[in-house]
């Protein structure tokens, strides 16, 4: 893999963001996924899938992992927008505000956050992004998920 270069001031959108996700995944020995689809806005106050589900990643974990969420999100109606993840497989957990990327903005701004997720059941676990809004509608673009299993 050729290491991409990003001059100062480079806006991380489209292909450069995909290259950065790929680079981080290879350096950290993680599994990453990217969804660039533009889906209709959501208005659900509980966590749901977007029209294009995910991103989703299946990895073999021990009891903990670092999960990184990245997306560009915006809203109408003063909504808080949330991006979280559910876990299925050896571990079952619903998406939660505790592990969420959240923002209140009407402009589509790129955000990222990492979470240490512990008390996983060792084995094959699938992490799938889920989304919600508190009011009005929320939009999510350029969605990324990186999961880095940690050794015991």
At 86, phi and psi to the nearest 5? -105, 155
Which region among 5-9, 49-53, 56-60 has the lowest average model confidence (pLDDT)? 5-9
Nearest to 72 by CA among 120, 19, 115, 11: 11
Alpha carbons 45 and 39: distance in angstroms, whole number: 17
Nearest to 144 by CA among 126, 129, 124, 125: 129
Domains of the chain: 33-150 (2.60.120.660)
CA angle 116, 30, 15 (to 5 degrees): 110
Q: Which residue is it, tokens 């084995």?
A: 123
Long-range contacts of 26-31 (CB under 8 A, 24+ apart): 26/1, 28/146, 28/148, 29/148, 30/59, 30/146, 30/147, 30/148, 30/149, 31/57, 31/58, 31/59, 31/146, 31/147
pLDDT digits (tens, 9 = 90+) for 89-99: 999 999 999 99
Alpha carbons 147 and 6: distance in angstroms, whole number: 23
Q: Which residue(s) pair with 66 in the sheet?
A: 116, 148
pTM exceeds 0.75, yes or no: yes
Q: Which pLDDT value is given to residue 12?
A: 55
pLDDT digits (tens, 9 = 90+) for 1-27: 455 555 555 555 556 666 666 666 554
């Amino acid at each position: 893999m050729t290491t991409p270069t990003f001059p100062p001031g480079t806006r991380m959108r489209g292909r450069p963001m995909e290259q950065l996700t790929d680079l981080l995944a290879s350096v950290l020995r993680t599994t990453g996924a990217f969804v660039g689809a533009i889906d209709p806005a959501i208005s659900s106050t509980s966590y749901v899938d977007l029209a294009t589900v995910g991103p989703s990643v299946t990895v073999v974990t021990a009891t903990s992992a670092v999960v990184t969420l990245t997306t560009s999100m915006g809203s109408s109606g003063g909504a808080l927008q949330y991006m979280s993840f559910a876990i299925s497989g050896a571990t079952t957990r619903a998406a939660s505000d505790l592990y969420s990327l959240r923002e209140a903005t009407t402009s589509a701004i790129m955000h990222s956050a990492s979470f240490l997720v512990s008390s996983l059941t060792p084995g094959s676990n699938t992490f799938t992004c889920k989304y919600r809004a508190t009011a009005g509608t929320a939009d999510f673009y350029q969605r990324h998920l990186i999961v880095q299993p940690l050794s015991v």
